[in-house]
Amino acid sequence: MTYILYAAPISLFSGKARAYLRWKGVAFEEIAPSTEIMKTKLMPAIGWPVIPVLETPDGAFIQDTADIISYFEASETGPSVYPNGPVQHYVTELLHTFADQWLTLPAMHYRWNYNEAWVLEEFGKLAMPDADRKMQIEIGNKRGAMFKAMVPMLGVTPDTAQAIEASYLGFLDDFSAHLEQHDFIFGGQPSLADFALYGPLYAHLYRDPASSEIMRAHAPNVARWVERLRDGNYGDGDLIAGDVIPDTLLPLLARHNAEHLPVLSAVNALLGEQDSDDLPRALGMVPFTLKDVTGQTLARPFSLFRLQAALDQYQTLDTDQTAHANRVLEATQGSALKGFVMAKRLTRRNYKLAIA
Ligand SMILES: N[C@@H](CCC(=O)N[C@@H](CS)C(=O)NCC(=O)O)C(=O)O
């Protein structure tokens, strides 16, 4: 038996897991979870409806893309998904947080405000692959409703839409400039930050038809990077040595720190008030600001769980490495990260986030 990845082309985190597994050289079969498979296989195993899920040959289930990646990093030989240097590793986890937890805003905005009818049908095809088109559209409307309802909760509203677009296009410009110099985030080979960024940039922003046009027209370099990862064209370059953080990555970090770090701090304050070990998925709403536009977004403690991996890596740095990381933070509006302390340590229990 081989590994099975329950995943779908329209799913953000499926793209991340799939691209990683292909790069790692893992033999796996991908199965799209119809309503039937979700009900009979994934719900009993995981307890809530989510993808991607990995089933191992011995029948264990792994959920959460970070856990899927850690599983193979610990068990497989071959190249490591982490870049060479400890500060590069720290920056990787910051970009991981940015990709997973903040680029979801433009991903959801463009999907639902530019591709709604198309994506609803995709939801229907996934749920009932054998039904006729009319039925698929009907079921897709029902299934998609839950994801669509998330859009304003994430902070995508008529008031913020323009600012989200400006931020995304700015991000594309910054990432394009980096890709003029390097094929991937840390040089000539992909690493974890590439797979993380591939999540939002593939399924929603490259594959959804209207979003695809925008990416290709505005940032063909980024579209080509997506294609390199999708098609397995990794080239024969090397990762950057010497724990160097390329200057061209600084604008990406600065965007994360300016836009998302205040949100993470606000969620952390709410986390401090939690007593129960079982955390709700959102702790209320918190404000965010993009340039001079302010909105409200769900206070998702999961975002802090991703940040925790960066904070843990920061703690492993020696004096010189800490000074190096601090210079990067100071150059990217990230000084608040130097003394960032999690209000509670987080873990996962039974495939759900919990206080450790
Ligand atoms: N942290 C999870 C996120 C997975 C996730 O959000 N998957 C989406 C599809 S891309 C989903 O199934 N969402 C259902 C839900 O959140 O209720 C991971 O990295 O695997």
The last residue of one of the domains, among 75, 108, 129, is 75
Atom number, ligand 1, closest to the C-alpha of residue 281: 16
Atom number, ligand 1, closest to the C-alpha of residue 64: 20
- Reference 2, options 35, 25, 32; nearest CA is 25
Does residue 206 lie in a domain region?
no
Beta strand pairing call for 293-298 and 61-63: unpaired
Say whether both 24 and 65 belong to one domain: yes
Q: What pLDDT tens digit does each residue of the chain (356 aa) get?
A: 799 999 999 999 999 999 999 999 999 999 999 999 999 999 999 999 999 999 999 999 999 999 999 999 998 777 899 999 999 999 999 999 999 999 999 999 999 999 999 999 999 999 999 999 999 999 999 999 989 999 999 999 999 999 999 999 999 999 999 999 999 999 999 999 999 999 999 999 999 999 999 999 999 999 999 999 999 999 999 999 999 999 999 999 999 999 999 999 999 999 999 988 889 999 999 999 999 999 999 999 999 999 999 999 999 999 999 999 999 999 999 999 999 999 999 999 999 999 99
Determine the structural domain holding residue 268 and report its residue range.
86-98+160-196+235-355
Does residue 129 lie in a domain region?
no
Say whether both 23 and 171 belong to one domain: no
Which protein residue's CA is at the shortest distance from atom 1 of ligand 1? 64
The residues, ordered by sequence, that sit 6+ positions from 62 with a Cβ below 8 Å of its Cβ are: 53, 54, 56, 68, 71
Say whether both 294 and 260 belong to one domain: yes
Say whether both 44 and 92 belong to one domain: no
Two tokens, residue 93: 């986890």
Say whether both 165 and 64 belong to one domain: no
Q: In the structure, which protein residues have their CB atom closer than 6 angstroms to any atom of ligand 1?
A: 11-14, 50-52, 64-65
Answer for the pair 147, 10: CB distance below 8 angstroms, yes or no. Answer: no
The last residue of one of the domains, among 42, 75, 108, is 75
In whole angstroms, give the CA distance from residue 337 to residue 314.
10
Say whether both 22 and 94 belong to one domain: no
Does residue 37 lie in a domain region?
yes
